[in-house]
A and B are shown apart, each in its own frame.
Chain A
Amino acid sequence: MPPADPLHGRERQESRLARWLVLPAVGTIVLVALFPLSWTVWESLHLHDLRMPWLGRPFVGADNYIEALGNPRFWSALGHTVFFATVTVGLELMLGLGFALAMNRAFRGRGPVRAAILIPWAIPTVVAGLLWRFMFDGQGGIVNAVLVGIGVLDQARVWFIHPQSAWVPVILADVWKTTPFVALLILAGLQNIDASLYEAARIDGASAWRQFRHVTLPLLKPAILVALIFRTLDAFRVFDLIYALTGGGPGTSTEPIALYTFNTLFQTLRFGYGSALSVIVFAVTFALALAYIRLLGADLTGARR
């Protein structure tokens, strides 16, 4: 048996060194995440309105939060966000799975197809938003031209002035833009599945559907969950796409919570109330992330092996 002491000492030394080594990382997190966050929380407890400097900057406790929770615009913005997140993430998962399965097949030109499918993902969101805005433009937009041309519409439709139809370009644009990301994540998962499992299933006489249902899907779960987490959190914070596409209109009927917060902070310059909104958005996204990790933690670590 080797003497325990020296090893122990070296371990202690190493752990001390390790502590020093993680210090910069911890320091950076404190500086770029914790500090701004606590500042925002502090700000949210004050009345701070850049446009009404004569009111000063008094401490108001939870007033800003109470105002937010009693404000119908806040609740409808939250509702829009949940609606947007549910619809887009659902569509993106289904389409992404389909694309991934297709790309996983061996066919000629697979490389170029895999590269091509990533193009929408590579386009900056604001540019994509403007692109879709022009396509859905009421006067010269290509969508109206095509739909009128094939007889679906009898006259050009002004998409952005109807509270329901204004969502159509928003959702299409997001699905178009982010499905490739989901597809790629799922494709990575598909390629980790051992081909011998399918062989075994075939020998047992399993149909293609049963193979998909009982081999592919269970083994894809970790990849799907990762995609789900990323996409839900992203969709929940959606801002730039809608900012460029509808600006939240007509009225405020496509305004997500992040855009409402932005308008409060940077148009109305109500820093106190806007900070309260930011804190609420942070709390909700953080809770979502925690819930995912809690619920799916086992699968996530499973994915790593």
Chain B
Amino acid sequence: MALIAAVLLWAGCGGEPANGPIEITFPVSALGAESQVVRRQLARFMGEHPGIRVLQRETPDAADQRHQLFVQWLNAGADDPDILSLDVIWTPEFAAAGWILPLDRFGPDTAEFFPTTISANRWRDSLYALPWFVDVGMLYWRTDLMRVAPRTFEELRRAAGRARRDQGIRHGLVWQGARYEGLVATFVEYLGGYGGRILDDGRVVVASKAGLGALTEMRDEIYASGTVPSAVLTWHEEETRLAFQNGEAAFMRNWPYAYGLMQDSAGSRVAGKYAVTAMPAAPQGAPTATLGGTQLAINRNSEHPEAAWSVIEYLTRPEQMLERAEVVGQFPTRLALYQGPELGEALSIPTADVRRVVESAVPRPVTPVYSQLSEILQIHLHRALTRQRTPAAALREAQAEMQQLLNRSGLGATGSRAAR
């Protein structure tokens, strides 16, 4: 109701109110507990700032659709919404396009945030968005099937084999393997686990020994050891969650959202029987969590950047982050919150576990053309995993195409060459 009223108000007040409050438009999801938290927090904000009215604009939840909508608005030079909520992989793209404002002049307290979440939002030495909450890829494991979580891929394969053989669990491990962004998120974790990376200062280096090791590991888990069912090659987050929730898998790679959902014992067969930890790694790499999450940025054409900033500043305060953690189970981006007791009470996951995973977080390549690079990578990874190509050939082809794209974008060779 409140939202409808807000939308009506927004539609009705197209003109410039001469002396009325400043209006700030803010994109929100239309559904669920998350939108209610945001609404509540914005209402409190307006209570404290009578001079600013925040109007909520409904935007699609699906990342692709939201991205497409933002790109169309910003390309057309629209001055609203004033505030944008960005997936972490979009910040450099929007920054390089000149669509969002550098935030340094507002003096954000960046030292209080996890350094990786800040560096993922930097472009050419300026901060363009403030991390609102953080998402990380984690290993969910069944505490009723084993006493300790595996730390290496080999340990995981063995534990999965035991669970399948001795306890009759259908699948060892499930991850997101359909041809979409989730596949790249999974791959980044295996790649980090083998000590590799996708991009090195404007050069694509994914076709490395580490890349080959990571992709071969993923493929062998399906076809050699049978740890991972081949069906994951059509699976997104929800299919993996359902399999794990029904007790069909010993391990699952997923984001934090699944943790709270599977605790509800009415629909979950594993309530109280799982824990999370960082993804495993090979001896030559380190446990790696793909960094996700949402950031807040200001539209460059906004007429009221100061007011917009005060909204962002308010929404990223510790107490708001704790409220989000409690209601929606989202991980805060502020370091200090992981030291106090409040987060432990708010989140259903033990704070120490969360912290360990968040500290192993690695951003996907921070480049304005990330989405295009990812699309190329998705296709070639999927070809290798569906055995249309060998891992080596797939990585070689992916690397060539990705490098070609970087060169065309003017961002190749040295990462700092692009015009702005």
In the complex where A251-B379, A251-B382, A252-B379 touch, is A51 in contact with B230 (Cβ < 8 A)?
Answer: no
A-binding segment of B80-88, B107-115, B261-269, B367-375: B367-375
Are A268 and B97 interface neighbours, CB within 8 A? no
A114-128 interface code vs B (CB 8 A; 1 in, 0 out): 000000000000000
| Chain A residues positioned under 8 Å from B389 (CB to CB) | 251
B31 close to A (CB within 8 Å): no
Quote the shortest CB–CB distance from A265 to chain B (angstroms): 11
Are A247 and B64 interface neighbours, CB within 8 A? no
| Chain B residues positioned under 8 Å from A53 (CB to CB) | 75, 97-98
In the complex where A250-B233, A250-B382 touch, is A266 in contact with B68 (Cβ < 8 A)?
Answer: yes
| Chain B residues positioned under 8 Å from A268 (CB to CB) | 371-372, 375
| Chain B residues positioned under 8 Å from A90 (CB to CB) | none
The one of A138, A253, A267 that contacts B231, using a Cβ cutoff of 8 Å = A138
B327-357 interface code vs A (CB 8 A; 1 in, 0 out): 0000000000000000000000000000000
With contacts defined as CB atoms under 8 Å apart, how many contacts are there between chain A and chain B in the complex?
79
Q: Which residues of chain B from 369 to 413 have a CB within 8 Å of any chain A CB?
A: 369, 371-372, 375, 379-380, 382-383, 386, 388-389, 409-410
CB<8 Å pairs between A and B, sample of 23: A51-B93, A52-B369, A53-B98, A54-B410, A55-B409, A139-B231, A158-B233, A160-B233, A161-B233, A161-B234, A163-B388, A247-B178, A249-B178, A249-B382, A250-B382, A251-B380, A251-B386, A251-B388, A252-B383, A267-B64, A267-B371, A268-B371, A269-B68
A161 CA to B380 CA in the complex, in Å?
14
Interface residues of A, Cβ cutoff 8 Å to B: 50-55, 138-139, 158, 160-163, 247-253, 263, 266-269
Are A54 and B419 interface neighbours, CB within 8 A? yes
B6 close to A (CB within 8 Å): no
A248 CA to B371 CA in the complex, in Å?
18
In the complex where A163-B386, A250-B388, A251-B383 touch, is A52 in contact with B234 (Cβ < 8 A)?
Answer: no
| Chain A residues positioned under 8 Å from B409 (CB to CB) | 52, 55
Counting chain A CB atoms within 10 Å of each CB, which of B71, B231, B389, B418 scores highest?
B231
- 9 closest cross-chain pairs (CB), A and B: A251-B383, A250-B386, A138-B231, A161-B233, A53-B97, A54-B419, A249-B179, A251-B382, A161-B386
B105 close to A (CB within 8 Å): no
| Chain B residues positioned under 8 Å from A158 (CB to CB) | 230-231, 233-234
Are A50 and B230 interface neighbours, CB within 8 A? no
Are B97 and A54 interface neighbours, CB within 8 A? yes
B147 close to A (CB within 8 Å): no
Quote the shortest CB–CB distance from A137 to chain B (angstroms): 8
Are B371 and A253 interface neighbours, CB within 8 A? no
| Chain A residues positioned under 8 Å from B75 (CB to CB) | 50, 53
With both beta carbons as reference points, the residue of chain A lying nearest to B177 in the complex is identified as A161
Are A269 and B179 interface neighbours, CB within 8 A? no
Quote the shortest CB–CB distance from B414 to chain A (angstroms): 16
| Chain B residues positioned under 8 Å from A55 (CB to CB) | 409-410
B420 close to A (CB within 8 Å): yes
Q: Chain A contact residues: over half helix, strand or loop, or mixed?
A: loop
A266 CA to B386 CA in the complex, in Å?
26
Are A161 and B379 interface neighbours, CB within 8 A? no
The one of B98, B179, B372, B418 that contacts A250, using a Cβ cutoff of 8 Å = B179
B270 close to A (CB within 8 Å): no
| Chain B residues positioned under 8 Å from A161 (CB to CB) | 230-231, 233-234, 386
With both beta carbons as reference points, the residue of chain A lying nearest to B72 in the complex is identified as A50
A163 CA to B383 CA in the complex, in Å?
9
Quote the shortest CB–CB distance from B70 to chain A (angstroms): 11
A163 CA to B389 CA in the complex, in Å?
11
In the complex where A158-B234, A160-B234, A268-B375 touch, is A51 in contact with B64 (Cβ < 8 A)?
Answer: no
Are B369 and A138 interface neighbours, CB within 8 A? no
A55 CA to B405 CA in the complex, in Å?
13
With both beta carbons as reference points, the residue of chain A lying nearest to B98 in the complex is identified as A53
B96 close to A (CB within 8 Å): yes
| Chain A residues positioned under 8 Å from B178 (CB to CB) | 247, 249
The one of B96, B179, B375 that contacts A54, using a Cβ cutoff of 8 Å = B96
| Chain A residues positioned under 8 Å from B93 (CB to CB) | 51
| Chain B residues positioned under 8 Å from A249 (CB to CB) | 178-179, 234, 382, 386
Are A51 and B233 interface neighbours, CB within 8 A? no
Are B231 and A162 interface neighbours, CB within 8 A? no
| Chain A residues positioned under 8 Å from B71 (CB to CB) | 50-51, 269
Are B375 and A162 interface neighbours, CB within 8 A? no
B215-240 interface code vs A (CB 8 A; 1 in, 0 out): 00000000000000011011000000
Are A52 and B383 interface neighbours, CB within 8 A? no
With both beta carbons as reference points, the residue of chain B lying nearest to A67 in the complex is identified as B408
Question: Apart from A50-B71, A161-B386, what 14 extra A-B contacts exist at CB < 8 Å?
Answer: A51-B93, A51-B368, A51-B371, A52-B97, A52-B409, A53-B97, A54-B410, A54-B420, A55-B410, A162-B386, A251-B383, A251-B389, A253-B388, A269-B71
Quote the shortest CB–CB distance from B398 to chain A (angstroms): 11
A250 CA to B379 CA in the complex, in Å?
8
Are B382 and A51 interface neighbours, CB within 8 A? no
With both beta carbons as reference points, the residue of chain A lying nearest to B170 in the complex is identified as A139
With both beta carbons as reference points, the residue of chain A lying nearest to B420 in the complex is identified as A54
Are A52 and B379 interface neighbours, CB within 8 A? no
B173-209 interface code vs A (CB 8 A; 1 in, 0 out): 0000011000000000000000000000000000000
Quote the shortest CB–CB distance from A147 to chain B (angstroms): 16
A160 CA to B68 CA in the complex, in Å?
27
Quote the shortest CB–CB distance from A250 to chain B (angstroms): 4
The one of B179, B372, B380, B420 that contacts A51, using a Cβ cutoff of 8 Å = B372
In the complex where A158-B230, A163-B386 touch, is A247 in contact with B179 (Cβ < 8 A)?
Answer: yes
Q: Which residues of chain B from 155 to 177 have a CB within 8 Å of any chain A CB?
A: none
| Chain B residues positioned under 8 Å from A252 (CB to CB) | 379, 383
Quote the shortest CB–CB distance from A226 to chain B (angstroms): 38
With both beta carbons as reference points, the residue of chain A lying nearest to B384 in the complex is identified as A251
A278 CA to B98 CA in the complex, in Å?
29
Are A54 and B418 interface neighbours, CB within 8 A? yes
A50 CA to B94 CA in the complex, in Å?
11
| Chain B residues positioned under 8 Å from A54 (CB to CB) | 96-98, 410, 418-420
With both beta carbons as reference points, the residue of chain A lying nearest to B234 in the complex is identified as A160
Quote the shortest CB–CB distance from B416 to chain A (angstroms): 13
A248 CA to B234 CA in the complex, in Å?
12
| Chain A residues positioned under 8 Å from B98 (CB to CB) | 53-54
Counting chain A CB atoms within 10 Å of each CB, which of B93, B386, B419 scores highest?
B386
A244 CA to B64 CA in the complex, in Å?
16
A275 CA to B96 CA in the complex, in Å?
24
